[in-house]
Amino acid sequence: MNVVSPRVKVAIRCKHCGEKFVLKGRKEKEKIDTGFKQCICNNEKDFDIETLDF
């Protein structure tokens, strides 16, 4: 039997260009996996991340 991780909605804002992404992901332990890799400005590390209500 598979245990499904709870889904969460996440807002990711780039600290370099200000672009905002709203994604759904899965919460596993202390980490949220959305599959997000980088911003359109090629920033890969400098983000503000917050969870949102569905």
Instruction: Give the model confidence (pLDDT) of 3-51 as tens digits.
Output: 666 899 999 999 999 999 999 999 888 889 999 999 999 999 999 999 9
The reply to whether the predicted model has a pTM over 0.85 is no
21 versus 2: the higher-pLDDT residue is 21
The contacts of residue 53 (CB under 8 Å, 6+ apart) are: 9
Query: 20 with 11: CB under 8 angstroms?
Result: yes
Please tell me what DSSP assigns to residue 49: E
